[in-house]
């Protein structure tokens, strides 16, 4: 909301009360993993606000093209304990899969002796990655922005929420049968892939259905973008005081 307001030239003192109200509402609606589908009609899912830039490095393109790929992305949120070691263990156990770690906070410390099927990128276009035909599974925390990217791409998810909106969106995906939730602190990547492979077709089919039904669509029926919808809501809210 604040970024959109800034682009529109709206001053902070008008926006801050609205932001606080929205934040309080999000905390309530997502408490204890409340399923997002139960939200009222005037609640909009608008992630991701940032669109696809199409910027993927050549090495990432080549890496994705090699074989099916597990995409791991936790954004700014702290990663699980022994993150590097668990990723490498997964890669060695499943050489038939590539593991792409998007680590824009540089939390992946291991730089040498990585398995050949592991690639760590500090920055890349997550939307383009998720829409690649070889993207097989996303492992994320479950916030709106990242969840929307994978749902709109039809890629099943494993989610390990740490709070805020993550609990609600993770619960929504799990209830749809399009992925499953792993409790915070219990994220073992090897066990995650084993569980996924046991019911891969089930998760994939349900995620494709969620995508087609626009469960977390980025556009509404009149084809406005997320930014346009958000700007319209913001202006209406400000008019109402």
Task: Dump pLDDT digits (tens) for 128-178.
Answer: 899 999 999 999 988 888 888 899 899 999 999 887 678 888 888 998 999
| pLDDT level of residue 98 (50, 70, 90 thresholds) | very high
pLDDT tens digits, one per residue of 25-65: 454 444 444 444 555 566 666 555 544 555 788 999 999 99
Q: What is the pTM of this model?
A: 0.77
Alpha-helical segments (H) within 30-103: 58-66, 83-93
- CA gyration radius for the chain? 18
- The strand ranges marked E within 12-153 are 69-73, 98-102, 118-121, 135-140
Span 179-196, mean pLDDT?
88
pLDDT at 20: 58
For residues 23 and 171, what is the distance between their CA atoms, to the nearest angstrom?
Answer: 19
């Amino acid at each position: 909301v604040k970024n959109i307001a800034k682009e529109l030239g709206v001053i902070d003192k008008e926006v801050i009360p609205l932001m606080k109200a929205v934040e309080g509402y999000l905390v309530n609606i997502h408490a204890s993993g409340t399923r997002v589908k139960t939200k009222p009609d005037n609640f909009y899912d608008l992630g991701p606000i940032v669109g696809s830039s199409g910027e993927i490095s050549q090495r990432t393109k080549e890496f994705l093209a090699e074989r099916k790929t597990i995409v791991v992305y936790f954004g700014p949120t702290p990663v699980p304990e022994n993150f590097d070691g668990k990723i490498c263990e997964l890669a060695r156990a499943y050489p038939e899969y590539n593991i792409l770690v998007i680590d824009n906070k540089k939390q992946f410390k291991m730089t040498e002796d990585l398995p050949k099927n592991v690639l760590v990128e500090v920055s890349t276009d997550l939307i383009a990655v998720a829409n690649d035909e070889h993207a097989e599974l996303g492992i994320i925390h479950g916030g709106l922005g990242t969840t929307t990217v994978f749902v709109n791409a039809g890629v099943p998810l494993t989610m390990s929420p740490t709070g805020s909106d993550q609990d609600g969106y993770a619960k929504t995906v799990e209830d749809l049968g399009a992925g499953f939730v792993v409790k915070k602190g219990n994220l073992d990547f090897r066990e995650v892939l084993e569980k996924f492979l046991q019911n891969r077709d089930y998760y994939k089919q349900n995620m494709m259905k969620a995508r087609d039904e626009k469960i977390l669509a980025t556009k509404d029926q009149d084809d406005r973008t997320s930014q346009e919808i958000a700007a319209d809501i913001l202006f209406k809210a400000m008019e109402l005081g």
